[in-house]
Amino acid sequence: MSGVVHVIDDDEAVRDSLAFMLSVRGLTVRTYADAPSFLEALPTAESGCVVTDVQMPGMSGLELLRRMEGRLESFPVIVLTGQADVPMAVEALKGGASDFIEKPFEGDVIHGAIESALGRLQGQAQASQEKADCIRRLKALAPRERDVLRGVVAGQSNKMIARELGISPRTIETYRANLMTKMRASNLSELVRLTLLAGGVD
């Protein structure tokens, strides 16, 4: 899996070795000597996983998490911790960190945690795109199609919708077939799911 990893550590040797280890595994790495440097770059930074030391001079990993409130979905944070800092790492998890890893760590362990975080990030991006697509398709429906869809989502039968709208059940069937095509749904349950994902019919 490709992705961007933002590595924050005040120890240059740790920073460089981590960057090298991740880059040879196909990940794009950006490094920062401290948390304020990352926060400064955050507004224009590429969405990705953040790997930060929990104990840093100036601003700790915990303070960084607090400053990133509202951005953690786009930047899942993994904290690195020494054995003595485990309580702090647990506090970081409560503050929104996605994982913590004790030093010294195996390359496979941190790579697995990063892949997992990037996977969730990718899933969120795909879900957001699907929702946007559904909203766009819903807005493109004709007023009468929206009326029929409203009835379908409410669980009404063709006869009930036809009676309510003053048209024949056969015409409702035609509208439903059109809705399936326009909303790109393969069956009735998917049509309902996609409509609900888009926020329902207003």
Q: What is the mean pLDDT of each run of 10 residues along the chain (202 residues)?
A: 84 92 92 95 90 90 89 88 77 85 85 89 80 90 93 89 93 92 87 87 80
Determine the Cα–Cα distance for residues 91 and 3; give it in Å rounded to an integer: 27
For residues 104 and 69, what is the distance between their CA atoms, to the nearest angstrom?
Answer: 28
pTM reported for the whole predicted model: 0.67
The CATH number of 140-197, from 3.20.20.140, 1.10.260.40, 3.40.50.2300, 1.10.10.10, is 1.10.10.10
Radius of gyration from C-alpha coordinates of the chain: 24
The answer to whether 121 and 47 have CB atoms below 8 angstroms apart is yes
Task: Look at residue 189 in the predicted model and tell me its pLDDT.
Answer: 79
Q: For the chain, what are the domain ranges?
A: 4-129, 140-197
User: How is residue 109 written in tokens?
Assistant: 């362990």
Domain 4-129 has CATH 3.40.50.1260: no
Query: Same fold for the domain at 4-129 and the one at 140-197?
Result: no
Neighbours of 185 (CB within 10 A): 18
Length of the chain: 202
